[in-house]
Amino acid sequence: MRAKATATPAALDLIAEIVAEHGPVLFHQPGGCCHGSSPICYPRVGFIVGDQMCCWATL
């Protein structure tokens, strides 16, 4: 099966820097007309997962 999400080595390095400074994070892919299609990075703690959301991948 093909991965639903991938990251380059440079992106993984940047994510590691963000996690080291801010703690665990997640990337949310909004689906509304007001948010566009860019993923948004949030702190994992306190993020409320809705019933319509799904996990695409763990990087």
pLDDT digits (tens, 9 = 90+) for 1-53: 666 788 899 999 999 999 999 999 988 877 766 666 788 888 988 888 778 77
CA distance 29 to 39: 4
CA atoms within 13 A on the CB side of 33: 0
Q: Which long-range contacts (CB under 8 A, 24 or more apart) does 9-12 make?
A: 12/59
Whether the model clears a pTM of 0.85, i.e. scores above it, the answer is no
Domain that holds residue 12: 1-59
Instruction: Kindly state the tokens that stand for 12.
Output: 């993984």
CA distance 58 to 27: 10
**Domains: count for the chain:** 1
